[in-house]
Chains A and B, each alone.
Chain A
Amino acid sequence: MSLIQLDKVCKTYRTGNLEVPAVVDFTATIEAGEFTVLAGPSGSGKTTLLNLIGCLDQPSSGQVVLDGRNVATTPTRKLADFRLRHIGFIFQSYNLIPVLTALENAEFTLMLRGVPQQQRHQRVRELFALLGLEGLENRRPNDLSGGQQQRVAIARAIAAEPAVVLADEPTANLDSRASRELLELMHRLNREQRTTFVFSSHDPQVVDMARRVISLHDGRLADDRRREP
């Protein structure tokens, strides 16, 4: 069974009396271990689709099935637990918790899952070594560069070994060098640890590195291309 199944998904937002379709009749499946980019210009529905896959939003119609669970029929209160156990998020603006150190930010999802502190620290230290963050454990987000913050965000997203990591324009706030390093890192995690990544991006660097590019236009599926690794 596919990891992510989207079947005739529609999402419409209401602004006053106006109904704005953000995603229209979108159908696709994503397998475990894929490195997929949702590409398209601003307003094409990338973030909305990512929110639907990430159980942050529910479709107006159609089905979103993630790891065997239909998001539309899952009560809102249970979605938080589902996200915690199955999904990792990387946001455009890093969105680390400013009062926590890098290590505490990275172990946050493990803490929410009730993992004992010793195991949390061990896991995060391994990830920090992998992500080149050694020595930065006790720094607060304000004392880290944009690239470093985004690496901590990656550590937070993958620490609990989720089924899929969703990244919403993760390189938008980074310079080209930091973007390249970050993408290579995620590529490596995908290759070595079989972590499934789904990005939304219109950054050509991100699109070039993806093995699958799903293009969106005005909320509709415009193209779905796969490349050989």
Chain B
Amino acid sequence: MLIAIAYRNLWRNRRRTLLTLSAMVVSSSLLILALGVFSGMLEDMLASATEQYHGHLVVSKSGYQDNHDLYATIRDEKLPVMLENRPEVVAASPRLRAYGLLSGRDISRPAELLGIDPEREEKVTTLMAHLVAGRPLPSAAGNGALIGSGLARRLGVGPGDQLVFVTGAADGSIGNDLLRVTGIFSTGDSGHDNGLVLVGLPWLQQLLVLPGQVHEIAMRVNDPMAAAGIADRLAAELPPGLDVFDWGDLLPEMREAVASFDVSRMIVVLILYAATGLGILNTFFMAVMERTREFGILMAIGMRPRTVRAMVLLETLQLGLLALLLGGAIGLLMTWLMQRFGIDLSGQITPVTYAGGTILPRLHAAFDPVNVWMPCGLLLVVCMVAGYLPARRAAKLQPVAAIREE
């Protein structure tokens, strides 16, 4: 009966309750949407930083990620298959890396050549999905090369043109060979677009005189946010001399960006809910003040102060639950719409590279359960905190004084 009384009391002043409810619903639903868009932006950044180049996890010789030593190679050709057999690993791609001078028609530029198995690499990164001219690197790549759009422009080359690459080989000789441009990619990340070339793994192994050897094995995992945990487990199982790095190790600035997102998410929630909380506090103080005499009567006929307090708190709880249901549903719907359709801003802004990732010119949401339960849960907490003071006031009333109130 107390629940029914609280519910009916809630709707005594329908207009005031609806106004407070709408403020709570609007703030919570917009918050869910805004956090979804934040997550979408972060997902884009993370995807561009990891899935375009590094992968979520990388296995390499100890020290290789610090100095990119040509001789720090992995000779175990079965390792990629072993890694792929782990349930949390989606795919693994062996890579060999070389730095040298790449020449086009009359111009030379320093470049990073990444030797890959195209079939495996496209399961780990999306580099080859950003093709803007030509065709993808075939499985038997031969001397074919995919070149970044900025580098191609500077060298003045296009699909079908020849390139010469010169570098130091592992046997101490000067390795040089011809490459033919099969396609041009553009990721939006200036570092990759201006300096990276993808070539066939056997071609580069031959050029560097490192047969059957790779510098690293990049991996894609089911849940990028769980990469650190997987790396810890994997580290214990790897042969000695090999290290495993998660994307946070390779891109510490991106890890900081994710951590700062968690903090800024909490700050945004608190600021918005502080304002909402004041609205709720005002509503319930008004409601309690208006019913002072009634509370006096209830206590006179035997209602305990704690029951009076519980009744007012039940009213705030019901309002909070109603706002939570409506706000959560509307917020989820808006997030879903933004996830499905998004808003293309490429006409207004260009991609921005930040913390090793690229913020794409679009508004796009990503679904993360935390973005729903945290605003909803906090809304309920704010509601109960805001309702506590009026409830306490009601419970502390003296029946005689309260009954005298007009």
Contacts and interface: CB of A to CB of B under 8 A. Distances in A.
A26 B5 CA distance: 40
Contacts of A109: 301-302
A22 to B, nearest CB: 11
B305 interface: yes
A84 B302 contact: yes
Nearest to A140: B8
Given A87-B302, A89-B300, A97-B294, 20 more contacts: A54-B300, A56-B300, A56-B403, A77-B304, A80-B302, A80-B305, A81-B304, A83-B300, A84-B301, A84-B302, A85-B302, A88-B301, A91-B297, A97-B297, A99-B9, A100-B5, A100-B8, A104-B1, A112-B302, A113-B302
Interface in B3-20: 5, 8-9, 12
A151 interface: no
Interface residues of A, number: 26
Give the top 8 A-B pairs by smallest Cβ distance, nearest first. Answer: A84-B302, A99-B8, A95-B297, A83-B302, A80-B304, A56-B400, A56-B399, A57-B400
Chain B interface SS verdict (over half)? helix
A210 to B, nearest CB: 23
Interface of B: 1, 5, 8-9, 12, 293-294, 297-305, 307, 399-400, 403
Given A100-B5, A104-B1, A112 B303 contact: yes
B301 A89 contact: yes
B301 A156 contact: yes
A116 B304 CA distance: 19
Contacts of A80: 299, 302-305
A51 interface: yes
Interface of A: 51, 54, 56-57, 77, 80-81, 83-85, 87-89, 91, 95, 97-100, 104, 108-109, 111-113, 156
B301 A83 contact: yes
Nearest to B406: A93
Nearest to A96: B297
A78 to B, nearest CB: 10
Given A51-B400, A56-B400, A97-B294, A111 B1 contact: yes
A137 to B, nearest CB: 15
